[in-house]
Chains A and B, each alone.
Chain A
Amino acid sequence: MQLMTSKTVKRIKNPSEWTTERVQYVLNSKSFDDYENYPVELIIEDDLPLELGANRNLVFEARLAKAIHEKVARLRAIAPEIVKDNGFWMWFGLELCREQMVERWCNGRDINGALRKPERASYFLSGDSLQAQQRCGVRRLWIAADISQRYDNTYDHVEGLLEKTDVFAGIVERMTGMDAEMAVALMQQLNPIKSEVIRRMIAKKVSVVLSTVALEVMTTNQKHELVKLVADEVLQAQAA
């Protein structure tokens, strides 16, 4: 049982003045010294593909996701615990993808260079729940790349996973989305559907069906068949 958690985020009085280290300390009780033991130069030495600037372009995000996954993999081989540390992802976002974070998640800067929505920075970088993992500006990209890798050892599904924000959130924020095969099966069924309402209905119904099933023992085909069956049922009911 989890009792109340601290609403520490609200205690950053003036987020426009935050420094990376202060945010890190306040939100994660960590100072940058905590990361000195990690060979983070494995990531820092190489530039991330940020030359396009910060934008919402799907192709760019997929490229960035792949780059983040590849670079973190090198670090993960030495320090496997790194990817489950939300402090690491906050550090990554603030230190390596700061402008991307500003443009994509804080509505950019005004003519004076001040962040338009500074309060969004801590929201889109903090937390460790499935919901918070999904909304973390950099961690979400890594998750998309990781699902694709775990599914068939390629990055072929990253664009598909990131294509529709509601589909990605609907998959990744649910327990079902922790299973890479189920995540890809859902994405493939949901992306072609135009109505967001119907997409949500299908994702929800799949979760309900799976609440009495251990999807861990299902084969890849069984997972795809189950999602298709549910999607067909919902679509037929809507058509009728």
Chain B
Amino acid sequence: MIKGTPAYTHFGTLTPNQNKSSKRYLKFRGKADWVEAAALDKADEKIWGEDKWDFSGRTDITDIKFELEYKVDAKNMTSAYGELNSDFIEFGVRVWNKATRTRKWFKGAFTINTTGKLEARFDSAAALPIALAQFSGEIEIQPLIVSKTPLRDSVSGLRTQPGTILGWSDPIVIELQKNRKGLSALFEIRWKAFSEEAGLDGAFFEIDWSERPIIYLNDANQALKQVLMSEASRGKVARVRDAINRLIAHQAVTTGLMAAFYQFKEIHSNGALEASDIIENLSSQNESILREWGWMLTQHGDATRVDDIAQELLEILENGVDLGAVIVDELSIRVQREFGTEKSIDDLISEVSDGDATDD
């Protein structure tokens, strides 16, 4: 993700035009007509996050189209490059999809009005029809303003080459995973300001264990956000990010498993004697966490299918196996192994040892 103002040139961030709400349309399988997002029912509203559109598991939707509008004060741009028009710069969206190894450019339109405001518009219907079957994983759509010709920045003295990114907005990510694994499969990750809600003092994340579980992270902590949003694959930030991720994963998975096991036990005590019956009666979030992580609760930790896991849990309940030994003793070790806690701790310690940290 691109952040901040470019050091190499003068332009900056494109702001979504709030005055003109962006329009989004969906096409459902077997239907010819487009349906505007605003006309969808409540279940479909969950798709539209602030910066992520989540179509995970929505095999009923085949196509999407959307309009995006942005504005930016072009004052910095004109002071650096002089008056610019479409001969020199271009607005469009860059589309990346790793799973299909796609990276493409789709052109939009822009105008610079008399007050120096640049207004840009992208209509996917004209340029980028998205048939979901053609993609997989995450589609990243990043609005950009780029130079078409070499430009000289009179302020910085630098010369840009064709394609240089002069302005951008945060990308929109379209999530298409059908079979996500790990925490992302189970939890939607959202940011919110904890200061605006009672009872969240002293917390940096909150788990909403509802039908569609959500991990909320504290939006007010910008340093945390910067670290967790980092896509670095190595280095200090990556190690700290991974350590924080592990901490969240530990608690989220342990708590979720306890909730699932509690409901499992309750359904069993209410008369369900077959593993498959119990699984069928679990809430979706409890069934999901048992499917992905339930092996940690089993005696030997080697069951992989959810029905095998359920059968083992049933045997634990029916055979009077010592729950303390199985769950308390084993679970914490398995969670640590699963999330590589030891390595994470080593990494963090090495940060302190390698750096010039002093004990004050």
Contacts and interface: CB of A to CB of B under 8 A. Distances in A.
The answer on A and B forming one complex is yes
Interface of A: 1-8, 11, 13, 25-26, 28-30, 80-81, 83-85, 128-130, 133, 143, 146, 175, 178-179, 212-219, 222, 226
B39 interface: no
B161 A4 contact: no
Contacts of B136: 81, 84-85, 128
A133 B163 contact: no
Nearest to A4: B249
Nearest to A5: B182
Given A84-B136, A133-B101, A3 B161 contact: no
Given A6-B182, A84-B136, A25 B148 contact: no
Given A5-B184, A215-B103, A217-B162, 13 more contacts: A4-B339, A6-B181, A6-B292, A83-B100, A128-B136, A178-B102, A212-B8, A214-B146, A214-B164, A214-B165, A216-B94, A216-B104, A219-B162
B25 interface: no
B228 A7 contact: no
Nearest to A147: B101
B333 interface: no
B245 interface: yes
B352 to A, nearest CB: 23
B164 A4 contact: no
Nearest to A8: B181
B134 A11 contact: no
A179 to B, nearest CB: 6
Contacts, number: 112
Interface string B169-209: 00000000001011110010100000000000000000000
Interface residues of B, number: 51
Given A84-B135, A214-B146, A4 B103 contact: no
Contacts of A26: 304
Given A85-B136, A128-B137, A3 B182 contact: yes
Contacts of A28: 179
B99 interface: yes
Contact of A4 (B98, B144, B182): B182
B125 interface: no
Contacts of B181: 5-6, 8, 29
B179 A30 contact: yes
Contact of A1 (B6, B161, B229, B304): B229
Given A214-B146, A214-B165, A1 B189 contact: yes
A87 to B, nearest CB: 8
Interface centre among A133, A175, A213, A216 (most CB of B within 10 A): A216
Nearest to B306: A29
A81 B176 CA distance: 12
Given A214-B105, A215-B163, A1 B135 contact: no
A129 B182 CA distance: 15
